[in-house]
Structure 1
């Protein structure tokens, strides 16, 4: 029998405690370093761009004159693009996750689909831009540089993330919930949509937040479908030519006029605010539908 008060045992315990303290310090250092980079970024953007945010900047559109250029056209284009993305990616992603997890029979074909979805989540975003250019613009002849095409392209990129997170959230629902619903006479569809899906919805919304946040900051796929065009008027609908905030920031950062430096920083601040507001609404909905057991 081991003696836990022997010098050897005490030395082993001290070694384990020392390793645990080093791991905690390493994790704390990683958090501090990450927050430091974020603080430097926010300080730099606020220092360079906060003085350029006024009503004329928030309500104006793109211009060759930095003193009259604004972000409203890009903000409205981003909102319309995100609405199209959410309207397509969320229901299709959730339904795909439900089918794969609850209804699909185990077969080689289903396994191949699951592997393909996992691989699509890691595909570079510019590939989706090339796909959107080939399918939506060249083949379907949809309007170029429009929020409709931009939203459809970003929906292709976002959907695998929603499917993966949705499947994980559905798997996390205890099997006893399904068994209890089936035991009282509920059908398979009723069990899934009345009991499993409401419990999995917070996890699904978490994946949706991640996917939409990634889509909001993308420029490469939108660059391929022509949303880098100079647009001086806000879009009236999802089929009108438009730009988006990340693309507007990219265009202004490439200008030689030093006046656009302030506009670039101010537009980044607006983009961060839109992202925080969108995530805040999604987190509120997630917490509202969250159920504890």
Structure 2
């Protein structure tokens, strides 16, 4: 059972769709939301690392948030990434997302010249105090450059209202999940990292996942099976999907692969990644099609026959 009735289960980290010209593809925002809702996710997270957030302007951010919330129409929770290295800026982005109707925020720690738990704590305190919605603490040192200890995160969850959600992505994630669950029994823990270790994270105490994957319904099935006590079913579903999870998670091209899958599934019109970027090589696409075919998922691609 979920440890909190508000945020739980499977949250998809969604990409930002662009036209081939590099402009926002607003029509695809709507079709993408509709697909994800139809696949059974509990929530959608926008403007994360895989949402190309660093390539967006403030006006574009507002458009994305507004369009996604409008398209969701209350059918799923919408979590918005508002991370920034400057606390004042992070607070402003967080307040704006809340004003536009976000259900929750995802905030990574700001990079500091020297490790400083007091400064990190103050950062999260100010963000949480500025809004009336939960803050998901993103523990992803690969992108943030910041290591947060189990004790720090447990104290944050205990002492800062709203910060009792964690997107745990410091590897090895299963081991840290075990320590976090022991230190903060009531904290809601989401696995991430493209679902690479989702089964083990659930086994070690995670409540669900908040990550991207081209076939979100598979992650929904795994988390739902696990929550229902069907450990064997969740295990089988995970292992069946492992070849695709592994292939999609290739560093440097994982976003391009995910966008290609979304395009093939009709969720977005174009697989364009905003510059600087490179198109997927033909051999990568061929290998992807081979995996999808062998897993019996090719019928979900445009123009394909089961």
Give the TM bin, normalised by the shorter chain: under 0.3
Q: Which has the higher strand share?
A: 2
What TM-score, normalized to structure 2?
A: 0.24
Larger radius of gyration between Structure 1 and Structure 2: 1
What TM-score, normalized to structure 1?
A: 0.25
